[in-house]
Chains A and B, each alone.
Chain A
Amino acid sequence: MSVIDTIAPPEAPSQKVASFKPRLLQSEEHGLCPGCGEPVAIRTVLEVIEELQLAERNIAILGHGCYGSFVMLLDVDSTLCLHGRAPATATGVKRMRPECAVWTLQGDGDMVNEGLAEILHATARAENITCIMLNNGVFGDTGGQMTAASVLGQRTKNSIDGRDAAYHGYPIPVANLVASLQGSAYVARGSVHSAAAVAQTRKFVRKAFQRQLEGKGLSLVEILTMCPTGWFVPAANGADYMMESLGKTYPLGELKDVGEV
């Protein structure tokens, strides 16, 4: 009977610790704020790309926002384009590289303010691309100003008493607009405020890429992401604050799926 030596260290670790870093991320060290929802949203997209075996045939078209500092960690071919123009730039890329999964990453300021025309026309043309919009209802990168997606009552640096419809107008639910157009194949709205929400968002993103691979048209996943810094709330309260404010205006779920009709 062999005796286990409990004093000497084991030759090999008893359990191999799995890395939590997706392969398509070059490092986990990022410069975004504590409690920011963007890193986990982008990781979710990268994991889906890996799962679908698109690592070596995908091109990312990135807009401008805080996630700009994160995209330097992505191990995928990419270009950063002008504010709002990602769907137009992606159109040129996809038409030349139809074998690639082409995806865009924009914030609400990028897509809804400056780029509303581009996302709607790309949808109308049924461009076979997947668009990811990270919606936190503020221009996070510039310090928390109102965007076209800020919800009513939302306090931002330039709507300090809260967004007032009579003065600032109403928020634009861009996913609903995209879903209403014929060229969209899949539209969903997810969130990253909880583990369950992340799991659901992953499903949405997966379906969005699948519709692109099937050649069905434009797919859009809007992901609500926490911006405690831009909202001026403690990092720990970000998730609750988000679902109390943005979550009420932008209900989660699938808005359209041509794969199911």
Chain B
Amino acid sequence: MAMKLLEGSEAIAESALVAGLRFYAAYPMSPSTELLEHLARKLPQRPGGVCINVESEIEGVNMALGAAATGFRAATGSCGQGLALMQEAIAEAALNETPLVVFNMARNQQDYFQATRGGGWGDYRTITLAPKDVPEAVEHAQLAFHLADKYRAPVIFMGDNLIARTQVSVDLKPLDLEPLPPKDWQLDGTSGGSGRSRQIWTWGAGKHNTPGPGPSAHWARIAAKFDDVAKLEQRHEEEFTEDAEIVVVAFGSGGKFVEHVVRDLRTEGRRVGFFRPITLWPFPGEALERATARARRVLVFELNAGQMIDDVRLNVVDRRRVVPIGGVSFDESGLNLGPLMHANAIRERIEAHFEKAAA
């Protein structure tokens, strides 16, 4: 397919449509607003497509939950405080096994904990994809629906302001992904009166004639499923880690900046490497352990007061080597990623550690 010059939000929206998105419900909140605007224009033009401008994030996520329960691809979107309001329903989706996709166009990286740990009830995790740029975001928009269907679980797409508002040429071809199991659980209303009607419920209880596994077996099975996801779906990217004295870990757009700075430093002969988790959950812990085994320092760049660093410390053998170099970074508008998201700023912070590591 031909390349198209699109703004990030529009590219993500178009890619979601390529994935077969049929239902989107969201409340405006920068920078997820543009995604809603694009889908409000585009979705109703599709056969059966629906986009609802909701009255609250709570309504939006529960609508998407209902739409996804019918077997159609459905999503909601927000960021920050909006994502916080959705946590109860995201947990519900995990426990009642509804493939719900949440486009979290985060303002900075302070949504890490609520995306990966959630704030809802129950033994659940949320698969979280963190693209570094628009082309990868286009892939993740499709991958999110695929993983949601594959595991019958909620998936959070974690973009940000930079991705939302950058114009890039993208290829909107459908990804070649493995076939999915049939949606034999979908609610279509047709099995009533048959003695075998369906019930979707977080407790795993079915109907009198088809009682279902019951809470303990249901939740144990879900826990086992998340264990499988944790093993099978870790994704990451690394460069120059074999002989690096310093490995810098970063995700999302921040990862793209770090990658750029690390490549520059390499051309200058500095032994620095780069590691980027693509799935924030499942966190690519074993790969990180290998990539940092020989490094004297592991620097963590993230635009928050230190959230992913907890996962890094869990997976670097000597956690005293793990040092934060990111921070809370907020510009005047409150909508951008702040002054720390700057190649020179990142470079200075990495270089300072060469001196310290040498001392």
Q: Are B189 and A77 in contact (CB under 8 A)?
A: yes
Q: Which residues of B contact A56 (CB under 8 A)?
A: 189-194
Q: Are A78 and B63 in contact (CB under 8 A)?
A: no
For residue B55, CB closer than 8 A to chain A, the reply is yes
Q: Counting chain B CB atoms within 10 Å of each CB, which of A23, A56, A97 scores highest?
A: A97
Q: Are A93 and B66 in contact (CB under 8 A)?
A: yes
**Docked pose: A166 CA to B325 CA in angstroms:** 56
Q: Are B88 and A82 in contact (CB under 8 A)?
A: yes
For residue A40, CB closer than 8 A to chain B, the reply is no
For residue B11, CB closer than 8 A to chain A, the reply is no
For residue A100, CB closer than 8 A to chain B, the reply is yes
Q: Are B59 and A118 in contact (CB under 8 A)?
A: yes
Q: Are A77 and B208 in contact (CB under 8 A)?
A: no
**Docked pose: A85 CA to B60 CA in angstroms:** 10
For residue B207, CB closer than 8 A to chain A, the reply is yes
Q: CB-CB contacts of B42-78 with A at 8 A, as 1s and 0s?
A: 0000001010101110111011111111101010000
For residue A73, CB closer than 8 A to chain B, the reply is yes
Q: Which residues of B contact A88 (CB under 8 A)?
A: 54, 58-60, 62-63, 66
CB distance from A73 to the nearest CB of B (A): 5
Given contacts A92-B25, A96-B72, A121-B59, contact A76 B192 (CB under 8 A): yes
Q: Are A91 and B63 in contact (CB under 8 A)?
A: yes
For residue A159, CB closer than 8 A to chain B, the reply is no
Residue of A with least CB distance to B212: A72
Q: Are B63 and A97 in contact (CB under 8 A)?
A: no
Q: Which residues of A contact B22 (CB under 8 A)?
A: 96
**Docked pose: A79 CA to B97 CA in angstroms:** 11
Given contacts A82-B92, A117-B56, A121-B55, contact A77 B67 (CB under 8 A): no
Q: Which residues of A contact B113 (CB under 8 A)?
A: none
Q: Which residues of A contact B195 (CB under 8 A)?
A: 26, 75
Q: Are A81 and B65 in contact (CB under 8 A)?
A: yes
Q: Are A75 and B194 in contact (CB under 8 A)?
A: yes
Residue of B with least CB distance to A80: B201
For residue A203, CB closer than 8 A to chain B, the reply is no
Q: Are A93 and B199 in contact (CB under 8 A)?
A: no
* Interface class of chain A by DSSP: mixed
For residue B197, CB closer than 8 A to chain A, the reply is yes
CB distance from B152 to the nearest CB of A (A): 14
Q: Are A81 and B66 in contact (CB under 8 A)?
A: yes
**Docked pose: A92 CA to B72 CA in angstroms:** 10
**Docked pose: A96 CA to B210 CA in angstroms:** 26
CB distance from B23 to the nearest CB of A (A): 6
Q: Are B74 and A92 in contact (CB under 8 A)?
A: yes
Partner of A27, one of B62, B96, B208: B208
For residue A205, CB closer than 8 A to chain B, the reply is no
> Could you tell me which residues of chain A, from 38 to 84, have a CB within 8 Å of some CB in chain B?
49-50, 54-59, 61, 71-82
Q: Counting chain A CB atoms within 10 Å of each CB, which of B60, B199, B200, B205 scores highest?
A: B199
Q: Are A76 and B197 in contact (CB under 8 A)?
A: yes
Q: Which residues of A contact B52 (CB under 8 A)?
A: 91, 95, 125
Q: Are A89 and B193 in contact (CB under 8 A)?
A: no
Q: Which residues of B contact A80 (CB under 8 A)?
A: 96, 199-203
Residue of A with least CB distance to B189: A100
For residue B6, CB closer than 8 A to chain A, the reply is no
Q: Counting chain A CB atoms within 10 Å of each CB, which of B68, B202, B207 scores highest?
A: B207
For residue B209, CB closer than 8 A to chain A, the reply is yes
CB distance from B59 to the nearest CB of A (A): 4
Q: Are A73 and B193 in contact (CB under 8 A)?
A: no
CB distance from B88 to the nearest CB of A (A): 6
CB distance from A48 to the nearest CB of B (A): 13
Given contacts A56-B189, A79-B187, contact A74 B207 (CB under 8 A): yes
Q: Which residues of B pack against A, CB within 8 Å?
A: 22-23, 25, 48, 50, 52, 54-56, 58-60, 62-70, 72, 74, 88-89, 92, 96, 187-195, 197-203, 205-209, 211
Q: Nearest 6 A-B pairs (CB), nearest first?
A: A92-B66, A92-B67, A89-B66, A55-B193, A100-B189, A26-B208
Given contacts A85-B59, A99-B189, 18 further A-B contacts (CB under 8 A): A50-B193, A57-B190, A58-B189, A72-B211, A75-B192, A75-B195, A78-B197, A81-B65, A88-B59, A89-B65, A92-B66, A95-B23, A96-B66, A96-B74, A97-B188, A100-B188, A101-B189, A117-B59
Residue pairs across A and B with Cβ atoms less than 8 A apart, 5 shown, are A74-B197, A75-B197, A79-B201, A82-B89, A89-B69
